[in-house]
Structure 1
Amino acid sequence: MKPLQLTMQAFGPYASREVIDFRELENRTMFVISGKTGAGKTTIFDGISYAIYGKASGEDRSPVDLRSQFAKEEELTEVELLFTLRGETYRIWRSPQQEKKKARGEGFTTMNARSELYRLGGDGDELLAANVREVDEKIRSMIQLDANQFRQILMIPQGEFRKLLTSDSKDKEIILQRLFHTELYRAVQEQLKEEADLLKNRVSSSVEDRTRELLNIRFVDNESMRELLLSDPLKDQAIMELLPPHIDSLNESKGKIEVKLVKIQEKRDALQRELAEAKSLVEQFNLKETLLRKKGELEGDKPRIEQLEREIKLANYAALLVQQDDYCKKLNKKLKAEEDILQQLTDTKKQIDARLVKAKAYFEEEAKRQEERDRVARYVLELEGMEKQVQSIDDLQRNTAKLKQEQDQFLYNVHTTKKQADGVREGMKEREAELEKEDELFKEIHGVEETIREKKEKQDLLEELSSLFQKEEALSNSVRALRRDQASNDARLSDARSTFLYLEDKRNSAHADRLSALLETNQPCPVCGSLHHPEPAKGQSELPSESELEAAREAKEALEEVKGKISIEIGREEGRLQGIQDQCRDRSERLKERMGPFERDEIQVKSQENREEIQHLSLKLNHLKSREERVRVLKEEVKHERGKLEELQEVIIDAENQLENAKSAYVSSHAKLVEITSSIPENLRSPDAFRTELSKAKKQKEELQRAHEQAQEAFNKLQNEEQIKQGQISDKQQLLTSLQEEMKEERQHFKDMLDKQGFKDYGAYIEAKRNEEQILHLTDQVRKHGEEMRSVHDRLSDLMKHLDGRERPDLESLNQSLIFCTEEWKTANQELNRMQTDISQNEGIFHRVNDINAGIKELEAQYLTVGHLAEIARGQNTNRITFERYVLASFLEDILLVANDRLRKMTSGRYELIRKNDRSKGNVQSGLELLVFDQFTGQERHVKTLSGGESFKASLALALGLADIVQQHAGGVSLETMFIDEGFGTLDPESLDHAIEALMDIQSSGRLVGIISHVPELKERIDARLEVISSQNGSHTEFRISG
């Protein structure tokens, strides 16, 4: 990755839009960033890091905190980076989450983080990702470094530079884990531990299951079983021997209680029948009292009903007059409406008469202008006769000018075409000479293409196998998580079973107390059958409610159901895991046929090596095809130019002929133009002037004619309207006379009807008037009163006959007898249910415990092997080093091998970094700490004892070595850039020279090296400088290049 241009807006100290174009460096590959403290030098690194990863270059700066305090409220914080990667150019844009001022109203609104990634090409920008998640995924796949790796090897910010050098084994382990992604090795040791723990937990779980099952045994009246279940530790073998005879004893007691329960049920049924008959008789006595009260209420309501009947009679008389009354009202309304219309017609006619007088005067005035209209019409005819001649003048002028231009153009064409033909001849000779230099190319291209195809097939297998390994790891994690869920559920199940057992014990004790209270002399005991009861139990144990006991049972059964579901899920996941493992073995065998034996941890390395070979061959193929394309293009160009030369020769001949024709046409057109212009007045020769004059004359003619026609039309129209309105007024006057006579007759008819129905005046009629709904409502009240009176009388008469001579029964006494009998039945039935449950549960426990014992024996045999391997991988060995740390130490040795080459040059051979191999004291993690070997003393010492300058050189050498090793182990990583932000001020002149030489070795390979430094000597040695200039309104930058 190589940056081309960085654009920041409202970012850090940069208030507005700041553009840093690294292309201004041209072919320079090293530059210094300088400026005052706080000006914004490190912010440039932050901008690059944020654009790529959405994170600042230092861990102590979050994206939300990067907004500039100098920026205006309306300016949004955003960063854009233009960069190249593997020959392609990309543009990435990011904007962090920030507060934006509302467009309307007061306050701010929160904008979420946004991001976009484009690939730039000749056909336009191609959008590769359009949101933060997609951009992050695409960047990881393109650059193949995460943000931590980027900060460690490409952009080394303040505080990060010496971290790898001086950190202890634990911290260095975290750094190397992030850089080399050794999660796979840690997962192996964790998986071994988890498998061992899983086996151990499964044994413990099985023992707990067995204990829980045994503790659920029901043991009422069996002291031997109670003592065994309360013993610690639990004597499971003795309990299993005693369980079968205990079940037989429970079956015998159950039979005795069943006989007693039948007798109690017969007595209870008889009491229920007697109580039902008594309740029916009481209800009849209550009904008699209710009907007597209702009869009194109905008789008291008779005066109101009689008034309602009179009101209904008058309403029916009034209903006969409603139709005539409505008709009179309708006639009166129509009469008023017609009078209003007559008034409107009269007013309209007066307006029309006034307008008619004005229209007649205007029409007579327009008739007097006939002579003026005739004169204007003659002038229009005269102008229309000249129109064709004027138009021909304009056409001849344009045609003459056009012919002159064509003549000049043909002359120019002849000259330029001859010159173009000479240029084509020279170009054709050059391309024919170049074609002779290219020879056989196609056989080489075919060979490279075939090799690439074979390697891509191999790459597909490598990537598929890598993906399968990842799926296998994910499924293993899923199974382990389910195992943890199972252990958690088992613990809760144990608590639930203990609670249920406690409540059941409590209930059994309470039942025993109740049974002892029911014992009678010379009556058999329902449990043992004895007729003598010398010492019955006298306790008063509290009986748990059925809801409490049922809730405890449901909680226990729910957790048992969960346990079953988890076991099923574990089996399903283990089945899927087995399927993935089978696919892994299949793909591994196919891969071995292509590349020979390999280890699982070599997949990534082999894949990277193969990918690099494909990339190398693709570059070679592209180079060959570019040459092939060049040959084809040259041939096409020669062929095209030969045809073009022939075409140009023909064009030259045609152009010379056209030139002669154009000269002749121009002379003829010019003579005709002079002849016509002499017959037209000078002021009308221009087409625009002529059209203006003609248009003016026509407009005047039309206006005169239109004014005459409009005056005549208005006069005729108003005469017609006046006659129409006079006819409408006459019609309305006749209609009003007819309506007035009819109204008089109908009113007299209504008065006659009032007298006939007995109403003294119109007010009495209105008072008696009711609508149909009101009449129906009144009638319904009268009807319902009569029906209810008859119903109450009939029912009361029947009840009096039925209850004659009978008394009200005592329900309370009967209820008490039934309650006592029911309680006795419930107690016996609960005891029967308990015994049935005890028998069923105890039989199930006996079979399940036998199965659990067989499973424990098998699991203990598996743990012997897996547990031993897990202890070795976790570092419980002689050197106390884990499997993952052993791999990390190997990576560190590779880094030191490369780093020491540079460190010896920078220290004139004095220092060499080595890894500490001694085992640390106690349980302290070791194996990754660094020492420095001093050639001057011949002794080793800790790297923390180095001076500031020595420490910087060692850190720089280690960082450069780290970059090389990461690139080797992460194939496809493009390391074309390095930025450093500290340390050079601690170096003496000689050390500074050595450090710069080391960086020169890097930049000689084309890598861009940027350094933040205040050291004057460094600025003098490096001719390119990016100055960061701060002010009260924010900072800005500019490149300053010397030499």
Structure 2
Amino acid sequence: MRPIRLELENFTIFRGRHSVDFSGLRFFIIQGRTGAGKTSLIDAMCYALFGKVPRHGDRRDLHEHLISKGTDHMRVFLEFSVRDRRYAIERAVRRGRGEVRFWEGNKLKNVRANELPELVKKVLGVDYDTFTKVILLPQGQFDRFLKPERPQQRREILNKLLGVDTLIEKMAELIRETKRQIENRLESITASLRELSFATKEELERVNKEIVLLEKDLNLLEEEKKKLQERLNVASHRDRLQGELAECQRQLAELLEKAEKMEQLERDLQVMEELSSYAPYVESFKSLSQREEQEIKEIKNLKEKLAKLSHQREQFQIQLEKYRQEWERLGEYDVQIEQLTKDLERLKNALEKHRERNQKLEELERVEEEIKTLEEDIKNLTERIDRGERYIKELREKIEDLEEKQKRLLELNPIKIKLDEVRRERESLELLKKEKEGLEEQLEKIREDIKEKESSLIRFHVEHIRAHLKEGDLCPVCGNVIAQLPPTEPSENFETIKRELDKLKALESEHLEKKARIESKLFALEEKEKELRQLLNEWEEEERFEEEYRELQRSQAELEEGRRKLKQAEEKLENLKKELSAKRERLSTLEGKREKLQTSIKEIEEHLAIEGFWEVKEQDIREKQVQLKTLKDRRDMIRNNYTTISEQLRIVELEEKRVQTALSERERNIQSLKEEKERVAKNLEPAIKKFGLGTVQELEKLIKPKEYIERLKQELEDYKRNVALLEEKEQRLKEELKNFEGVEPTQEIKAKMQQLEEEYKNKSVQLGHLREQKTRIEEGLKKREELLKDQEELQRKEGIYRILERDFRADRLQEFLSQIMLQKIIARANFYLQKFTAGAYEYDLEGSDILVIDRLSGHKRSVSTLSGGETFLASLSLAFGVSDIISKNAPIESLFIDEGFGSLDRETREELSQFFEMIKLNANRMVGIISHLEDLAEKFDQRIEVVRRGDRSFVNVIV
């Protein structure tokens, strides 16, 4: 990854908008004082790519720490290339909501925020953790790695750079957890085996024998059940026939009880069939009678309606005659209404003009009052603005004095921070010294215990040799023949001695490491004290520095208060000027409005004088309106009533004619119906006389529908057929039952069957229990075999993990991994060292010591003999090597080294120009050196200057 352009807006100390162009940079320095924000540029790149910053971790309130103070939004844009292919990422936070966009080339890709980390990992070839390790390397650690102060320091630095300690700890934890799981599983298997103690082959054989016996008994019972079932089937058939006979006899008795009723029904059917031939004449007579009655009702209704219409016609004629004279006078009403409408319109116009004049007079009065008030306000505002300008001038002069003091405070801040840090650490100095003394005492005691255990180990070996010697053998120590063996002395167990000795050595190593860490802390504290004394050289004493610092801090509060007052005064003055401008504009508007009102009032008064309506009362208008409304209502009433009555009279006369016509037609219909009824009655006279009836209506009651007669016939036939069938069935069932005279009662057979089934059921339940027991034993035996196999395998694994756990507690694995990684790093660093020194130098490893092969002299020498500039090149090549190893050859085309010259004195730094040229020519990537040393900036043709002014920083790129 090679950065091309970085844009920042309100990111940490970079408040406002800033842009850094990396496109023309190759080997450059990022220079600025401590706290200016140099490393924040690297943080911004990490944030753009991964949405995280190394120094803040994965905290949820990350944006609160990244957004510049006093702002509510933030934006970071990074354009970069990977293998000459361009990409860009933009992250923005506005009102608490995050937004992200990703470009590939010039094309905006549709990528969700949660998909971006995986996409960036794919593009860069490394994940977040690896990227943060290889993009920014701590050069000071490589100096100490090259020239460690103590033997363990090189391994500590290497493990920290590569994350070996973290890896080892995670692996050890994984091993412990796996071992714990195996132990828990073994305990579970042991408990399960105890629970399966019932599952034995002997128990399985006993259950199988019982199952065979029960199966034989069940087979015998099954045979007996079949025989009983056959007998029960015969008895059930006999019972069924007896039930059918009883039911047949009952149904037959019921039918014979209806015999007389059926005979009467047969006689009635003969009469019904004879009368059915007269049914059409009866139906016709009935229909004619109904039509005659309907026509009589209609004639009555029409006569009543005709009388009502005649009465309505006479009433409408009287009303029409009443309005006829008024109808002829409608023209006179129209002339009067037109004249009144014109008079009323002239009165309304005159009244409206009077009202308009009065409104404009009132408005003119209000305008003149407002003009007077505005003139007074303008005068007061002018005076206040003059006073405000004088006050602001005085405040600005005071603030300039206070800002000078703040510049001085900013210069002293780094010293103050350093002083506070040293004071805090002074408290722990004595504690560290006491802890160191305690460790030295403990180390002395541990070393004595180790000597004692080593002596015990020697004695054990002696006794072991003694056990294999006999009289006459040669002594393995002096070579003489053994005449008599010395007495055997009891000795401790070898494994116990070895285990205790290993524990003591591990404890010794642990104490040595603690002591080394304490010595490192003490050395660091002493270095900070020296640095602080150099910084405080101007004041001679810390108290004098503190006094000046406190005084400058007090001026800071005064400056803030002065700025606040200045801001308020400027805002207030600006508001007063805006108010003055607005009032002047309003005054000009009102003066124009006053002139327009005066002109309009004059024109209205002239119009009223011409029209002759100088005085108009609303009462006159209301009287005219009432008079006009009365005339209009009277005219409209006459016109509507005359027209409505005329139309109603016409409708009534038409309806009267229609009803008279309908009445004549109905009377003719009644005469025709009477003649038809007389003809039908003559056809029915023979039947009425034969059956002794008086009227057609009596004959109608005797005649039944054909369907009814047919239904009664079918009922009679069904009765006769059912009686015959039941008598035949009764005889047949009696004959069949003679075959079952010797069969035993059904209940006795059922009782025997129930007893047999209960016995069968009990034995089946016993058999089911035994089969379940057999299955449980078989499954238990199978599970027991599986558990024993698992137990054996887990015991084997437990032994392996016990060995691994012991090995991971020791330092041997860490040393082994560190040595492998050291060999790889040295091999890769040699590639860069040879390029940077034109083949003059090469690294070589002897054990864990790093040597330098001087190709010019052909000798090996220690790295401590390298000059300052040579040391810088050596440590830089190591940094490049570590970067390549960690990134696994991913396309990391840029590298930033933090405080890369901190180990060099001023004289050495003066001679670095020639080395810079070698790096520019041979480095295969962009290299940025981050440093606070001002004297280095001039030695770089390309540099990024980070300057802090107050609470914000600015960036300037020089190519």
| Fold match (TM-score > 0.5) | no
TM-score of the aligned structures, taking structure 1 as reference length: 0.35
Say which one has the larger Rg: 2
Q: Greater relative contact order: 1 or 2 (C-alpha under 8 angstroms, separation 6 or more)? A: 2
TM-score of the aligned structures, taking structure 2 as reference length: 0.38
